[in-house]
A and B are shown apart, each in its own frame.
Chain A
Amino acid sequence: MAILVIAEHSNGALAGATLNTVAAAQKIGGEIVVLVAGQGVAPVAEAAAKVAGVGKVLVADDAAYANLLPENVAPLIVGLAKGYSHVLAPATTNGKNYLPRVAALLDVEQISEIVEVVAADTFKRPIYAGNAIATVQSSAPVKVITVRATGFDAVAAEGGSAAIEPVSGTGDAGKSAFVGEELATSDRPELTAAKIVISGGRGLQNGDNFKHLYALADKLGAAVGASRAAVDAGFVPNDMQVGQTGKIVAPQLYIAVGISGAIQHLAGMKDSKVIVAINKDEDAPIFQVADYGLVADLFEAVPELEKLV
């Protein structure tokens, strides 16, 4: 049977997390059908049709699906789901919002944030902030799954030539309305897609001091993240939080600056290839996961680092 992958997209572009989700679908095996739901999403559908390994693209283009409101999108997916063995969505804030609603309407459990496909019905997923990895097996007729992007290498965005087919659902359920959004704008790479991530914690003391990290990031082409403490204190916006309950990143290089290394923070970055920690406390737990630790005052070390790279 075929696998339905729900596309993530923003501002008329297919989001990278979709490519990791298609990769997970390939590991499961079967024809891959991508659903693009939204308004004015023809360019997204065209991009999805070019993704390597995609067999067909379904497009639900309707004002009701504009902001992927779960009250409207879940019935659309449920209407399509019956013909598929699996329904996969990226574990983004969108996927985590609508997919459990789909699962409950189908009367099946959702399998959250898989990082490995063991078999078509068996998956691995982190629990307890990544302090344990559970292998779970599903007997559901349709397996409803969110995919953690860091667990699967993205498939190529080019190389496919899938057919595009329009579909429709029940439209606006009349329960919810989009009012507005405040999106962070930045010229730096997106946190979950960047090859290098530099994160700051409470040790930065205030938002203004993040300029030291931004200067270093701009030299390295890096994204900037933060600990919960830095977000809670208002130094930086919420979308920069890395951790168990924030974003999960696994870049080539992660530099933790003024971050102690609580388990909730480690949960979001400990699968990075190389970890650097800069902290003035030599006993800080972050050093236990760091490949290279530098015991130093960040206000001296970071500007010096910026000069030397």
Chain B
Amino acid sequence: MKILVAVKRVVDYNVKVRVKADNSGVDLANVKMSMNPFCEIAVEEAVRLKEKGVASEIVVVTIGPAAAQEQLRTALALGADRALLVESGEELNSLAVAKLLKAVVDKEQPQLVILGKQSIDSDNNQTGQMLAALTGYAQGTFASKVEVAGDKLSVTREIDGGLQTVSLALPAVVTTDLRLNEPRYASLPNIMKAKKKPLETVTPDALGVSLASTLKTVRVEAPAARSAGIKVGSVAELVEKLKNEAKVI
């Protein structure tokens, strides 16, 4: 089967971002950018399915600026076969991203689409579900285990109460949770090889998708800061403070 993996270029998870002084957004100038961690897990899962002989081809796609080629090359080095950049300078909302991905699905006709469950910048957790809606596919979100069995997909999902297993008709959309796998690192030879793998660029226009959105960000501010606390010298002092000062026990 063919697998399509959607990856996003985001601020590296180690960076503590700062809000811009004019409250228009967060300051991303000179900040380290990486592949969204959940997308790394998505790429890894596709590669494992290929290594098991379940997948025949892995196509990786991103929607973003020209610089997002970097993340596509990383995905190619990890084992994807070819890459597609839908180049867009502006920050797009999830529905527009899902519509662009739907256009790519129409063209590529994958049996399985794997996305991250959440971008660590927008914290939206919705693009995969939206893509499933637009394509009419079943969705296995927050996956911690994925198994292909004939024309069905078994997905174990991380839910509030524990784990849930569902059986989905293929083609289907899966979004990854943290425990699905532990992504590998790209080896130097594979990084070199990735430079020669095909990377195609298209525009949203060429895909015939309108990027109009019903949502706009009007202001971004820093969260309320917590006032500084104190260090206590002993367990006894801690208990005394919790009982008499904070009055929480």
Residues of A whose CB lies within 8 Å of any CB of B are 10, 67, 69-71, 74, 92-94, 96-105, 107-113, 122, 125-140, 174-184, 192, 196, 220, 228, 231-232, 237-239, 244-245, 247, 252-253, 263-264, 270, 273-276, 282, 287, 289-296, 301, 304-305, 308-309
Contacts and interface: CB of A to CB of B under 8 A. Distances in A.
Interface stretch (B62-70, B76-84, B210-218): B210-218
B22 interface: no
A294 B166 contact: no
24 contacts: A96-B141, A97-B139, A100-B94, A100-B125, A100-B126, A101-B129, A101-B130, A109-B95, A109-B213, A111-B215, A112-B126, A128-B121, A131-B223, A136-B216, A174-B169, A175-B137, A178-B164, A182-B163, A183-B162, A252-B248, A291-B226, A292-B229, A293-B230, A304-B235
B158 A93 contact: yes
Interface in B197-241: 213-223, 226, 229-232, 234-236, 238-239, 241
Contacts of A182: 162-164
A239 B239 contact: no
A132 B217 contact: no
Interface of B: 11, 13, 16-17, 19, 26, 38, 93-95, 98, 117-118, 120-134, 136-139, 141-142, 144, 154, 157-169, 177-179, 213-223, 226, 229-232, 234-236, 238-239, 241-242, 246, 248-249
Nearest to B95: A109
Contacts of A294: 231-232, 234-235, 238
A109 B99 CA distance: 11
A273 B227 CA distance: 11
A127 B220 contact: yes
B232 A128 contact: no
Give the dominant DSSP class at A's interface.
mixed
A175 B173 CA distance: 12
Contacts of A131: 16-17, 26, 222-223
A227 to B, nearest CB: 12
Contacts of A67: 164, 166
Given A109-B215, A127-B121, A239 B162 contact: yes
| Most-contacted residue by chain A among B160, B234, B238 (CB, 10 A) | B160
A308 B167 CA distance: 50
B77 to A, nearest CB: 24
Contact of B165 (A179, A237, A290): A179
B249 to A, nearest CB: 6
Contact of A134 (B95, B217, B239): B217
Given A101-B133, A132-B17, A263-B16, A113 B123 contact: yes
Nearest to B230: A292
User: Shortest 9 CB-CB distances between A and B: which pairs?
Assistant: A100-B126, A100-B129, A104-B130, A104-B133, A140-B214, A291-B229, A175-B138, A109-B215, A253-B248
A35 B122 CA distance: 28
A196 B246 CA distance: 13
| Most-contacted residue by chain A among B13, B98, B236, B246 (CB, 10 A) | B246
A96 B34 CA distance: 25
Contacts of A287: 229, 231
B26 A305 contact: no
Contact of A293 (B129, B229, B239): B229
A107 B139 contact: no
Contacts of A177: 166-167
A292 B218 CA distance: 36
A273 B248 contact: yes
B235 A296 contact: yes
Nearest to B214: A140
